[in-house]
Structure 1
Amino acid sequence: MKKKVLSMFLASAMALSIVACGSSNSGADTQPAASEQTPAAETKEEAAPAAETAEPEVASELTDGKFADTRKITVEIYDRGNDGGSDPENNMYTEYIKKGMLEEHNVEVTFKKVPRWTEVDDINNLLAAGEAPDICVTYSYPTVLTYAQMGGVIDLSEMIESYKGELPNLWGWLGETNMLWDKDPKTGTVWAIEGKRAEQQRIVTFVRQDWLDKLGLEAPKTTQEFEDMLVAFKDNADKLLGSDASKLVPFSTSYDIGWRASNLITSYMDPNITDKEYYINGFDDRMVTQTSTKEAVRLLNKWYNAGLMWKDFALYGSGDTTEDDMIKAGYVGAFQHNWDYVFRNGEDSINANLKRNVGEDAKFVPVDCFQNSANKYSKWLYSSAGDRKIFFPTTNTEPLASLLYLDFISKPETIKYLQAGDEGVTHEVLDSGAIQIIAATGDAIQNSGKNIDYTITCNGTNFGDEKLAALSLAYGYAEADPELVDQANKIAMADGLEPKNVNVGEVTAEAGVGDTLSSKRDQIYDNAVVAAEADFDSTWDSFMSDYLSAGGQAIIDERTEKWAEYFGDADMLP
């Protein structure tokens, strides 16, 4: 009955909160929401229903880590719709988890797939219907905050402390930093546990080495050299593509400009930007309200109007393969994307496709060319701490079993198996001891890089051993050149900037507006880039005004107040 009542309440509440919702996730698996998390606060009276719905069990119910009676839980898993991929709910890796959980904890696990590119909308609907998985995952903390304010999320603060002795792997891997990353400094509530990033790389610029060679060009080392290269690609389309010259795209991007042009945008930022300024405008990691961003986008607008960019970039949304197909066919000269993007998916990777479709020498290589005013190639990294947000809806009646699940997937041997699989099937061990990933087939195929959809507490190469991971990083992509992977890794980390966790408690203005603002943010970027050069300023200002009035300014104002409350006149954190 309680589940039914909660479902009716959430359905009514969400009808008001998601009218304008729509997925705006980029193709980046990496894609977090804001780098700094701002947990929700809730009064004790408001928190009571959650505690009543999922009353903590005593650890004494476990004997050698196992329940006497079989418990059952459901776990969210992303469905990426990969052609030729494995069934996300039933494959070699899900069987490993199911078997291990049953043997070690007497917990029966069922996976519930949620489309990756519409995950926020789908979780909204499942939660409203009382059918959300017991363990939910999202990149968006404002999403969790919205649910929490509706009474739909369990406060984990007492449980993770009370069961600490039963969760040695979870606490050992995440540590206090990640376990308590979102702990409200006033109320002590913990609405979500933050996964940990084993890798911090974000964006790299890739260019066609074979095109550089054909035109006798060196890899660009400055923004001007990059622009000159794009002009050369355009002016030599016949030489580069012959009869397909009309299909040539010097520089490609997607509707998600703030992500895909991140390194360019960062190069325009003040090298000495304060923690305060970055935080106040940092609720969206696409940096749209940072003061320097407009000028970076002005350059993109210039390139677009000069015919140096893909004309149709804004027409294709999340999950669409049009751009990737164009890149794989060999029509694109340069693009920015996730640091390992050209190496992903083995035989279907970008570079593997180019080799088949164009020739042995066709490949994208990483370059570092966007310098800031201090002559550094600065780029924002992921925080080494916060990653995906793992939360339990109040319909979860097995919170201890769910925590034991998180502990199980955080075991070193579990992480290693989920990332590496079986020797001879999904990997080989080199003489150095490094693990080299090889192409897999059938239910051994990993639908996400490094199987991050299953290793939800670990994002990036780990193999249960940091030294082994470092040794193996360059060999982590089937069909990829380890030297190119190593170059991309080094470039992605060069002059890296790591965002800090600014925990000031609940920022109420952020709840319920995440998707709306993400959509409006993309509209700012896309419309400004495609505007006539003479209309750039008016276009940017008009769409920015709409963004700010839709909730962006309220967030900026509240973050400003929160900073003053906790840090006074300080501009930098200790």
Structure 2
Amino acid sequence: MKSKIMMVLLPVLALLAGTLAGCGSDTTKESQSTSSTTSTSKAEATSSDSPVTLTVEVFDRGIQGQPDLNNNTWTRYINDNFGKQNNAIVKFVPVPRSQEVDKLNVLMAAGEAPDISFTYDSATVSRYANMNGILQLDDLLNNNGKDLTNYLGKKVLTYGAFDGKQMAIPAKRTSLAWIGMFIRKDWLDKLGMPIPTTRDELYNTLIAFRDKNPGGVDGVIPWGVAATGMNYGYGNLIDSFWGKQSEEEFVTTPGWLKPGNKDAFKFLNKLYNEKLISPDFALDKTAKQVDADVTNGKVGFFSANWDYPLRQNISEPLKANVPSASFVPIDTFKNDEGKYKKIAYNENGISLFIPKSSKNAELAIKYLNWMSDPKVLFFLQYGQEGVNHNMVNGIPQVINQTGDNMQTSYLNLDYTLVVNGVELGDPEKNIKALAASAPGLEAVAEQSYKINTTDTYTGFFFDTPNEFNIKFGKTLGDMNNQMTDKLIVCKPSEFDSLYDKLVTEYMAAGGKAVMDENVKIYKAMQANK
């Protein structure tokens, strides 16, 4: 079953609500949009002696040695190849990555948000749209965004539509793999054991790792786990226990109530009490401890991002500490249907939008339309051959640099707004380019990507914010983490009663309200199809 689940809604500042609410009622949205577009055209029809300044958000990631975010190889290319041809100056407005939603709320409330603003939180965009704080983009895209529309395609654009109106432009996500699972192949070989392909086989393998300690290490950890949520989490183990549900049940019911979920946590509790997972995982909130355990050769199995063990901060120290160590990707959690279900990324990435306060909406769409040109995207991602990248077997490989040529995000993600991920115009080439970022481990990377894009489901996109999620989201998120830790470490004899007690408290603390509202929104969406 393929489904889509929206991220937890984040509250918008009261100041924002008051400011945007003053923009007008629903009945005036269309006239305001037309008026704004008209004023935009007038603003852009200025004399050639007075270039228009187009403001564009950019993440400030605070990376040591990063270049001036408004004056570097990439911004000069943008202004030389788009700005000059359109009598414009593209000015980038840095927003701290760690505070992106909070900062954006303040800018929106003050009417000072960049002409092109963005966020990874689609719920924030939905709220802005409901408050009439951003422009409807249908006409602007029809008139000035044909190349952009063709590049993104209808499916991706759907993620930016609210109540049938295009309110945001989602970037295209080209890499859909998310979570992977990895095991020490050298340990399996030493024990003469095959790669496990089921839960039971993995369980027996973990016992062998514990009892026979094939690495000969002090404090062997069969399965490395941390309390970080995704990296060093539980892979698709929990999903593999879930029983059949309708799509409505699957996307609206919290995990705690899904059939089989209790058995999944009972299994994790069994692993913990038999000393098969990291003993102090609940204290490891940053994954620093388990990172150290992995790179010191103590861990036999773990789950994380599909490319995690291929990253230099893991692969290089592991190779230095244990030259014979070899992690390989596996698929081991088969469900009752014989499938290895796992979550993957949706086809959309970051959401771009134009605030109602913008005077340069037409120019903003022209800019994104220009960016969707394959030649433009290639330069912004890879730069000049021999300077910013080398071609190896037809695949560009980035040359990491400092100064003006430095990319502060992977493949200049913060400047290539219309795409999240490698874009070489061919999915196979994209995968090979991803694999090229792990020199010497390219085949392992390709294998991991293939495994983790098979039998996948994606998050359901609710086109209406769940107000109860906004109200109770943080409380429920904190409870979710606490419940997970408590259930895994409790005594087996206490598990059943504790599970029932904690789930009852979770539902009473807002879980039921969120679920009921999800059902209501889901049914409304199906009725409007």
The equivalent residue for 2:447 is: 487
Q: Identify unmatched segments of 5+ residues in structure 1.
A: 1-9, 17-41
SS of the equivalent of 2:180 reads: strand
Q: Identify unmatched segments of 5+ residues in structure 2.
A: 1-11, 19-23
- The Cα of 1:409 is off from its aligned counterpart by 3.3
CA–CA distance in 2 between the matches of 1:85 and 1:329?
31
- The Cα of 1:256 is off from its aligned counterpart by 0.7
- C-alpha distance 218-525 of structure 1, shift in aligned 2 (>3 A): same
- The Cα of 1:208 is off from its aligned counterpart by 1.9
Give the partner amino acid of 2:258.
Q
- C-alpha distance 50-314 of structure 1, shift in aligned 2 (>3 A): farther
**Aligned residue runs from structure 1 range 524-539, under 5 A:** 524-539=483-498
Matching of residue 343 in structure 1 with residue 321 in structure 2: no
Q: Pick from 317, 322, 336: which aligns with 1:353?
A: 317
The equivalent residue for 1:205 is: 181
Give the partner amino acid of 2:237.
L
Matching of residue 375 in structure 1 with residue 338 in structure 2: yes
Give the partner amino acid of 2:52.
T
- The Cα of 1:46 is off from its aligned counterpart by 7.9
The equivalent residue for 1:303 is: 271
Contact 2:127-2:465 within 8 A present in 1 as well: no
Q: Pick from 316, 327, 330: which aligns with 1:364?
A: 327
CA–CA distance in 1 between the matches of 2:451 and 2:252?
28
Q: Pick from 92, 99, 119: which aligns with 1:110?
A: 92
Contact 1:434-1:471 within 8 A present in 2 as well: no
- C-alpha distance 376-478 of structure 1, shift in aligned 2 (>3 A): closer
CA shift digits 1:432-452 (9 cap, x unpaired)? x23344554555454444443
SS of the equivalent of 1:205 reads: strand
- The Cα of 1:128 is off from its aligned counterpart by 5.2
CA–CA distance in 2 between the matches of 1:235 and 1:449?
41
CA–CA distance in 2 between the matches of 1:46 and 1:513?
32
Matching of residue 194 in structure 1 with residue 196 in structure 2: no
- C-alpha distance 133-533 of structure 1, shift in aligned 2 (>3 A): farther
- The Cα of 1:488 is off from its aligned counterpart by 0.5
The equivalent residue for 1:27 is: none
Give the partner amino acid of 1:536.
F
Give the partner amino acid of 2:233.
R
Q: TM-score, normalised by structure 1?
A: 0.76
Q: Which has the larger radius of gyration?
A: 2
- C-alpha distance 372-325 of structure 1, shift in aligned 2 (>3 A): same
**Aligned residue runs from structure 1 range 397-476, under 5 A:** 397-431=359-393, 433-463=394-424, 465-466=425-426, 469-470=429-430, 472-473=432-433, 475-476=435-436
The equivalent residue for 2:3 is: none
- C-alpha distance 236-103 of structure 1, shift in aligned 2 (>3 A): farther
- The Cα of 1:252 is off from its aligned counterpart by 2.3
CA RMSD of aligned residues (A): 3.8
CA–CA distance in 1 between the matches of 2:107 and 2:500?
37
- The Cα of 1:13 is off from its aligned counterpart by 4.6
CA–CA distance in 1 between the matches of 2:480 and 2:74?
37
- C-alpha distance 51-443 of structure 1, shift in aligned 2 (>3 A): same
- C-alpha distance 275-458 of structure 1, shift in aligned 2 (>3 A): same
Matching of residue 264 in structure 1 with residue 250 in structure 2: no
- C-alpha distance 115-184 of structure 1, shift in aligned 2 (>3 A): closer
Contact 1:222-1:370 within 8 A present in 2 as well: yes
CA shift digits 1:341-375 (9 cap, x unpaired)? 2223xxx342233112321x323210111101022
Give the partner amino acid of 1:303.
L
Contact 1:11-1:129 within 8 A present in 2 as well: no
The equivalent residue for 2:5 is: none
- C-alpha distance 87-434 of structure 1, shift in aligned 2 (>3 A): same
The equivalent residue for 1:39 is: none
The equivalent residue for 2:248 is: 276
CA–CA distance in 2 between the matches of 1:448 and 1:90?
16
Q: TM-score, normalised by structure 2?
A: 0.82
The equivalent residue for 2:215 is: 240
Matching of residue 143 in structure 1 with residue 124 in structure 2: yes
CA–CA distance in 2 between the matches of 1:533 and 1:90?
60
